[in-house]
Amino acid sequence: MHVTNRKTRRSKEQIAGRLHEFHSSGLTQTALAKQHGLNQRALSLLLKKARLQPSQTARSNLAFVEVEMPKLCAAFDYKVTFGGGLALELRSGFVLGELVSLVEFLRGTASSDCSSGVL
Q: Are residues 55 and 82 in the same domain?
A: no
Q: Are residues 47 and 18 in the same domain?
A: yes
Q: Are residues 18 and 53 in the same domain?
A: yes
Q: Are residues 90 and 52 in the same domain?
A: no
- Residues spanned by the domain of 38: 12-60
Whether residue 7 lies inside any domain: the answer is no
Higher-pLDDT residue of 36, 55: 36
Q: Using CA atoms, how far apart are residues 18 and 47, in angstroms rounded to an integer?
A: 10
pLDDT in tens, 4-36: 566 677 777 887 888 888 888 888 888 888 888
Q: Using CA atoms, how far apart are residues 15 and 96, in angstroms rounded to an integer?
A: 58
Q: What is the DSSP letter of 65?
A: -
* 8 Å CB contact between 29 and 48: no
Whether residue 19 lies inside any domain: the answer is yes
CA torsion 49→53→57→61, rounded to 10°? 170
Question: Among the listed ranges 6-15, 19-28, 46-55, 109-118, which one has the minimum average pLDDT value?
Answer: 109-118
Whether residue 47 lies inside any domain: the answer is yes
Question: What's the pLDDT band for 117 if we cut at 50, 70, 90?
Answer: very low
* 8 Å CB contact between 117 and 111: yes
Number of domains in the chain: 2
Q: Rounded mean pLDDT of 97-115?
A: 73
Enumerate the β-bridge partners of residue 102: none
Cα-flanking dihedrals φ and ψ of residue 92, to 5°?
Answer: -60, 150
Picking from 76, 8, 79, 80, the residue whose alpha carbon sits closest to that of residue 46 is 8
Whether residue 35 lies inside any domain: the answer is yes
Q: Rounded mean pLDDT of 54-61?
A: 58
Q: Rounded mean pLDDT of 71-75?
A: 63
H or E element in which residue 110 lies = helix 96-113
Q: Rounded mean pLDDT of 54-58?
A: 57
Q: Using CA atoms, how far apart are residues 23 and 29, in angstroms rounded to an integer?
A: 10
Question: What percent of the chain shows pLDDT beyond 70?
Answer: 71
